[in-house]
Amino acid sequence: MLRTDYEDDVLEQGVTQRKYSMTQSGGYVYFTDETEYAVEGDTMGAAVINATNAAVNKCVEYATGTLQANSRSLTLTNDIFFEGGHVEVYVPAGKVQDLVVSNVTVTDGSATITFSSSVDTASRIDAYCK
């Protein structure tokens, strides 16, 4: 699970900008943050950004399939999306209004969706990351 409690720096009351001291040594200049903080916020490195982007990419992925007439189940395959995440099933309105999902099983890059009843005509089903 990714963190959701990151904090920004909060400067002490009356401090309007950050303050830095400058030191020269061996031909280099070094800066040290001398700001007075009420709260020192978090840093966010590449590992956090990469994990966040991977999670977002999974949520953008979806799979679409056709539930055949007189069938109650459908298996959708999408290795990127179905790596063990939860599935939200979308049934387009007006096509199969009374279709209710009774079970979703996610295993090894696929999701099998079972409905409480079958449909009279083939219907498009979309599954999204949830």
**Which letter does DSSP use for residue 34 in this model?**
-
pLDDT in tens, 97-121: 456 777 777 676 677 778 777 777 7
What value does the mean pLDDT take over residues 8-17?
95
Question: What is the sign, positive or negative, of the torsion defined by CA atoms of 117, 101, 64, 75?
Answer: negative
User: Which tokens belong to 6?
Assistant: 């990151």
Cβ neighbours around 58 below 10 Å, total: 16
DSSP state letters, 106-117: EETTEEEEEESS
In this prediction, residue 92 has a pLDDT band, given cuts at 50, 70 and 90, of low
Specify the higher pLDDT residue, 34 or 55: 34
CB-neighbour burial class of residue 98 (10 A; exposed 0-12, middle 13-18, buried 19+): exposed
pLDDT in tens, 17-43: 999 999 999 999 999 999 999 999 999
